[in-house]
Chain A
Amino acid sequence: MSKLAGKTAIITGASRGIGAEIARKFAADGAKVVVNYSGSQEKAEAVVADIQANGGEAIAVKANVSDAESVKAMVDETMKTFGSVDILVNNAGITRDNLMMRMKDDEWDDVININLKGVFICTKAVTRQMMKQRAGRIVNIASIVGVMGNAGQANYVASKAGVIGLTKTTARELASRGITANAVAPGFITTDMTDQLTDEVQKAMLGQIPLNRFGAPEDVAKAALFLASDDASYMTGQTLHLDGGMVM
């Protein structure tokens, strides 16, 4: 099992949840991993230690994905440490849920800045290197609500729908340089984010899922691994729905 042997992968927001799982998965498959975090240094370092304990290579790098300078510094550090950037997983994301009628401008702005502008900034930052290499894989973590909409998440939904559109444009602009861009749209995945939901809400959600269970971060990591590997070399601009059948 070494589908990513010799590759370097930057994974944003990798200190916990889906991002941490992707980091572990990629490292287990041979990738040298940059575990990006913005606030949770200890958790990011724990992910790195975990990877190293299993014989993998990883470093933790702090960067705010919505700040171009800090992202550039992360890419520079990646190049200095590992010598290439082959894979970017745009995973960092936040929620600031509220009904649209009550949503404050800064709740809107915060989510769009991290979830959508962050993808733009990180993609732009690795593109130069990937163009030179004539190869690269960009995997964006969107969300199924970006496809179907969701009451109470106007900002999050707009950001994730934006990511799906950005994925298609990235795919078209960079295809001639051997760079692919695809997205994963997870449904309800059990993480810190979903654990905060009430039992009632969780039950209502299950009712919408034909497979009648929530997904695990591992499910998303497997799909991301596929998209980052040579197995997906003829696929670009696509969004994989990992949602137990919610949207068909």
Chain B
Amino acid sequence: MSTVLDRVTKVIVDRLGVEESEVKLEASFTGDLGADSLDVVELVMELEDEFDMEISDEDAENMATVGDAVTYIEKKQA
């Protein structure tokens, strides 16, 4: 069973076309990973599908880094 981070990383690599090594917890989607605002919206959509959960717009707006997403998903799954 892969970890939340593994699965989040895979979604990011597929969506943004970045190297796996670039996907660090502190990496910001728009600053470090080159996502534009629409990419972030899509990323959240795919995370919703991957983890079968709904992420509200308010929560999505607070997700700036890979770590934010992982923490949010882990908390919601707990």
Closest to B36 in A: A176
Q: Point out the residues of chain B lying under 8 angstroms from A174, CB to CB.
A: 38
Question: Judging by beta carbons under 8 Å apart, are B38 and A176 in contact?
Answer: yes
The smallest C-beta distance from B39 to any residue of chain A, in angstroms, reads 9
Instruction: Please tell me the size bucket of the interface on B.
Output: under 10
Q: List 8 A-B contacts (CB under 8 A).
A: A128-B45, A131-B42, A131-B45, A132-B45, A173-B38, A174-B38, A176-B38, A177-B38
The smallest C-beta distance from A130 to any residue of chain B, in angstroms, reads 11
A-B Cβ contacts below 8 A, count: 8
- CB neighbors of A among B22-72 (8 A): 38, 42, 45
The smallest C-beta distance from A171 to any residue of chain B, in angstroms, reads 13
Q: Point out the residues of chain A lying under 8 angstroms from B38, CB to CB.
A: 173-174, 176-177
- 5 more contacts with CB within 8 A, not counting A128-B45, A132-B45, A177-B38, are A131-B42, A131-B45, A173-B38, A174-B38, A176-B38
Interface residues of A, CB < 8 Å — how many?
A: 7
Q: In whole angstroms, what is the CA distance A174 to B38 when docked?
A: 9
- CB neighbors of B among A6-57 (8 A): none
Q: Point out the residues of chain A lying under 8 angstroms from B45, CB to CB.
A: 128, 131-132
For the complex of A and B, the 8 pairs showing the least CB-CB separation, nearest first, are A128-B45, A131-B42, A176-B38, A173-B38, A177-B38, A131-B45, A132-B45, A174-B38
Q: Point out the residues of chain A lying under 8 angstroms from B42, CB to CB.
A: 131
Q: In whole angstroms, what is the CA distance A177 to B38 when docked?
A: 9
Q: Point out the residues of chain B lying under 8 angstroms from A132, CB to CB.
A: 45
Mask, A154-188, CB within 8 Å of B = 1, is 00000000000000000001101100000000000
The smallest C-beta distance from B43 to any residue of chain A, in angstroms, reads 11
The smallest C-beta distance from A131 to any residue of chain B, in angstroms, reads 6
The smallest C-beta distance from A75 to any residue of chain B, in angstroms, reads 14
- CB neighbors of A among B6-22 (8 A): none
The smallest C-beta distance from A79 to any residue of chain B, in angstroms, reads 13
Closest to A127 in B: B41
The smallest C-beta distance from B10 to any residue of chain A, in angstroms, reads 17
Q: In whole angstroms, what is the CA distance A47 to B42 when docked?
A: 36
Q: In whole angstroms, what is the CA distance A174 to B41 when docked?
A: 12
Q: In whole angstroms, what is the CA distance A52 to B42 when docked?
A: 37
The smallest C-beta distance from A124 to any residue of chain B, in angstroms, reads 11
The smallest C-beta distance from A169 to any residue of chain B, in angstroms, reads 13
Q: Point out the residues of chain B lying under 8 angstroms from A128, CB to CB.
A: 45
